[in-house]
Amino acid sequence: MNYFLRGGSRIIISTSTNVYTNLALERFLAENIQHQPKSKLLILWRNSPSIVIGRYQNPYVESNLNYLFENNILLSRRYSGGGTTYHDEGNLNLTILTTRDNYNRRKNLEWLVSTINDSYVNKFSLHITKRDDIILEDSINKQQYKITGSASRLTRTYAYHHFTLLINTNLNHLRQSLKSNDRFSIKSNATESIRSSVTCLSNYESTIQYETLIDILAKSFWKQNQQTKWGSDYLYDYIDPQLFQNQLKQFIDELKSDYFLYEVTPPFTYTILAHNNRTIEFSIKNGIIEDIKNSNKDEYEKFYHKQFYLMYNDIKQL
Amino acid sequence: MSFIFPLRHCSRLLLLNNQIPRFFSVSSAVLQNTSTSDFERYYTKKHEWLNIIDKNSNEVRIGISDYAQQALGEVVYCELPTIGTKYKKSDSFATLESVKAVSDCYMPIDGEITEINEKLKEEASLINKSPYEQGWLAQAKVDDKNIKDIEKSLMNEKQYQQYIKGELDNEKAT
């Protein structure tokens, strides 16, 4: 680990596919590396099926939690902003970690777009929108599809920009996971995702594979960054986060906790049309039901001051 | 007792002090305190500002500068500290989400939070529209020693404007 913490430009590939471990690894590296000006750390990672919501989002608005539980899809919240993404092994995560001053989101996206466009010249064309989304233009049906999601975290000492790339993801799971039944029952100031049609690169070039793409990206990264390569054959290092459980533990515990998944959700109200046509409104703050309007005495006693995420299924049955 | 006067209001009161005889019951000491220099802003290199809003209780108001709000883009969510929390200078006391980026704000001075801007809960974009007036983030109680050090440890308006100019020149160079 000390080897990685020395700083300087580097490419690291995580061998873990656990979303909490990978998010913890990203944060640990950000906080502990001796960042050097002009250098960039590229982290590549993939997760087993998971939903990742942005720091100030509401999981009930963004995803169908029952669908996640039924299909063993993990729910997680990241430290950066932005909208909700669905991850599986067909979705590549890239993180570019720099000093605060060297943060440049557009430049990172331009690198990705030019690399892929150059490598798959006649297959498809990617371009970047004003909102810093990467779009694939389908020349046959003239549709535009989003293929990445971007988010960033900026602190005094470091900045990271991470983004996803849909290579070969299960779009059925993606759509079902992101379709919340509660979107219209919830009122909140939490950041809402902007929904877009998505597609995978493999739909346009069936030979695209994670392994070949990694090599293409690595070579292009070094070409663009002209920084010291650690040895002339060096492309990237693998890191096994299992070997660093102790260092990552505090972040993994936080990322997995009910506190971070549910309780830090910005305040919201949840409205339900109960069986006898009453509209019951729950007000939730810090994960706790602080107020209930229009409930009867039994309901009030049952739900008042309880944790919303624990009561959720009971509430839906009203 | 502490009074918080907006700048316009205070200049009218100063006038009143000159015209009305000494037996007027409003504390003239308070009116003497409300001079324009008390509303002078001081800045950090990370683009936070503070100004003293009450010299009696050493209370300051804290926010981010116009330069900072422009760099962030539209603020969509604001996480503010809990009243009563004590922070040291440079501790992160608030977090802003803007255009997919989550950024920390740092304390310009040691202090204990006394108030937060509740309006930001409904309208975080006030930080963009009015970074020095309606978009303030929090107020804090500061001890005497730190209040006296403000001019030494932070930049005044003129110094800050020069600092930003330097930053912009650097950006053009890279």
Residue where a domain terminates, one of A263, A285, A306: A263
**Confidence at residue B38, expressed as pLDDT on a 0 to 100 scale:** 54
CATH classification of the domain holding B50: 2.40.50.100
Residues A259 and A291 placed together within one structural domain of the fold: no
pLDDT by residue (tens digit) across B56-85? 999 999 999 999 999 999 999 999 999 999
Test A81 with B104 for CB contact under 8 angstroms: no
* Residue matched to tokens 């669905």: A86
Any domain includes A154? yes
Residues A304 and A256 placed together within one structural domain of the fold: no
**Confidence at residue A228, expressed as pLDDT on a 0 to 100 scale:** 55
Residues A146 and A251 placed together within one structural domain of the fold: yes
Among A121-125, A136-140, B119-123, where is mean pLDDT lowest?
Answer: A121-125
Any domain includes A1? no
Report DSSP state, residue B111: E
- pLDDT band per the 50, 70, 90 thresholds, residue B25: very low
Domain range holding A284?
Answer: 268-316
Cα–Cα distance measured from residue A21 to residue B8, given in angstroms and rounded to the nearest whole number: 55
Any domain includes A166? yes
Residue where a domain terminates, one of A247, A263, A279: A263
Show residues of chain A in contact with B46, CB under 8 Å: 156
Please report, rounded to a whole number, the percentage of residues in chain A having pLDDT higher than 90: 78
Any domain includes A3? no
Chain B residue with Cα closest to A82: B100
Nearest alpha carbon to residue A120 among A186, A196, A217, A48: A217
Test B98 with A153 for CB contact under 8 angstroms: no
Of A55, A132, A150, the CB nearest to B102: A55
**Number of structural domains, chain A?**
2
Q: 10 Å Cβ neighbour count for A124?
A: 19
Nearest alpha carbon to residue B89 among B45, B130, B121: B45
Rounded to whole angstroms, the maximal C-alpha distance in chain B is: 63
Any domain includes B51? yes
Residues A246 and A127 placed together within one structural domain of the fold: yes
Determine contact, residues A236/A218, Cβ cutoff 8 Å.
yes
* Per-window interface: A 82-101 vs B, CB < 8 A: 82-83
Q: What is the Cα B40 distance to its own chain's centre?
A: 9
Cα–Cα distance measured from residue A253 to residue B158, given in angstroms and rounded to the nearest whole number: 47
CATH classification of the domain holding A47: 3.30.930.10
Test B102 with A80 for CB contact under 8 angstroms: yes
Q: Does B165 touch chain A (CB under 8 A)?
A: no
Q: What is the mean pLDDT of chain A?
A: 93
**Predicted TM-score (pTM) of this structure:** 0.88
Any domain includes B23? no
Q: Does B119 touch chain A (CB under 8 A)?
A: no
Q: Kindly state the average pLDDT of the residues B96-108.
A: 93
Any domain includes A39? yes
**Strand partners for A12:** A43, A237
Determine contact, residues A189/A70, Cβ cutoff 8 Å.
no
Q: Does B45 touch chain A (CB under 8 A)?
A: no
Cα–Cα distance measured from residue B69 to residue B137, given in angstroms and rounded to the nearest whole number: 12
Phi, psi values for residue A247, rounded to 5°: -70, -30
Cα–Cα distance measured from residue B169 to residue B51, given in angstroms and rounded to the nearest whole number: 27
**Confidence at residue B173, expressed as pLDDT on a 0 to 100 scale:** 67
**Confidence at residue A231, expressed as pLDDT on a 0 to 100 scale:** 61
Tell me the residue type at A7.
G
Determine contact, residues A165/A133, Cβ cutoff 8 Å.
no
Please report, rounded to a whole number, the percentage of residues in chain A having pLDDT higher than 70: 97
Residues A304 and A235 placed together within one structural domain of the fold: no
Instruction: Answer whether residue B27 shows pLDDT above 60.
Output: no
**Strand partners for A93:** A45, A164
**Number of structural domains, chain B?**
1
Cα–Cα distance measured from residue A97 to residue A161, given in angstroms and rounded to the nearest whole number: 7
Tell me the residue type at A91.
N
Residues A259 and A273 placed together within one structural domain of the fold: no
Any domain includes B47? yes
pLDDT by residue (tens digit) across A183-241? 899 999 999 998 899 999 999 998 898 888 999 999 999 988 865 555 667 789 999 99
Report DSSP state, residue A273: E
ipTM above 0.85, yes or no: yes
* Residue matched to tokens 């902007």: A194
C-alpha distances (whole Å) from B147 to each of A88, A296, B42, B144, B150 are 53, 54, 11, 5, 5
**First-to-final CA distance of chain B:** 52
Determine contact, residues A164/A148, Cβ cutoff 8 Å.
yes
Count of CB pairs separated by less than 8 Å, A with B: 61
**Confidence at residue B32, expressed as pLDDT on a 0 to 100 scale:** 41
- pLDDT band per the 50, 70, 90 thresholds, residue A7: confident
Domain range holding B140?
Answer: 41-173
Residues A310 and A277 placed together within one structural domain of the fold: yes
Any domain includes B87? yes
Instruction: Answer whether residue A251 shows pLDDT above 90.
Output: yes
Instruction: Answer whether residue B113 shows pLDDT above 70.
Output: yes
Residues A176 and A273 placed together within one structural domain of the fold: no
Q: 10 Å Cβ neighbour count for A63?
A: 25
**Confidence at residue B168, expressed as pLDDT on a 0 to 100 scale:** 83
Tokens of A221: 């990264």
Q: Kindly state the average pLDDT of the residues B127-151.
A: 95
Instruction: Answer whether residue B33 shows pLDDT above 60.
Output: no
Q: Kindly state the average pLDDT of the residues A260-289.
A: 94
**Confidence at residue A227, expressed as pLDDT on a 0 to 100 scale:** 58
Cα–Cα distance measured from residue A151 to residue A164, given in angstroms and rounded to the nearest whole number: 9
Any domain includes A2? no
Any domain includes B33? no
Nearest alpha carbon to residue A182 among A249, A269, A76, A95: A269
Cα–Cα distance measured from residue A311 to residue A302, given in angstroms and rounded to the nearest whole number: 9
